């Protein structure tokens, strides 16, 4: 599972054998969240949250949007739809 970017102490990873739709896993502080990258320009939308507070999720999402690296990494690993 390559780390495709970092948001502070959090790691943003993509599993090599993962499924569509395009998404990333955000790991850190003993928590995990899954964000789909399904907007027209790869906007991140929370799909699953295991332990992060709402305030933390609200801070993570715009960072994923700002860094188009998450969607670009997904497409490098899994190809475009």
Q: By C-alpha distance, which of 9, 13, 39, 42 is closest to 26?
A: 13
Q: By C-alpha distance, which of 4, 9, 26 is closest to 78?
A: 4
Number of domains in the chain: 1
pLDDT per residue, tens digit, the chain (81 aa), is: 788 889 999 999 999 888 888 899 999 999 999 999 876 666 789 999 999 999 999 999 888 887 677 777 878 888 876
Structural domain of 10: 3-78
Q: What does pTM read for this prediction?
A: 0.85
């Amino acid at each position: 599972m390559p780390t495709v970017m970092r948001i502070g102490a959090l790691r943003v990873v993509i599993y090599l054998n993962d499924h569509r739709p395009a998404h990333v896993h955000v790991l850190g502080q003993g928590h995990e969240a899954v964000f789909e990258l399904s907007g027209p320009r790869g906007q991140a939308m929370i799909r699953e949250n295991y332990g992060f507070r709402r305030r933390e999720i609200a801070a993570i999402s715009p960072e994923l949007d700002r860094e188009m690296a998450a969607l670009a990494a997904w497409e490098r690993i899994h190809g475009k739809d």
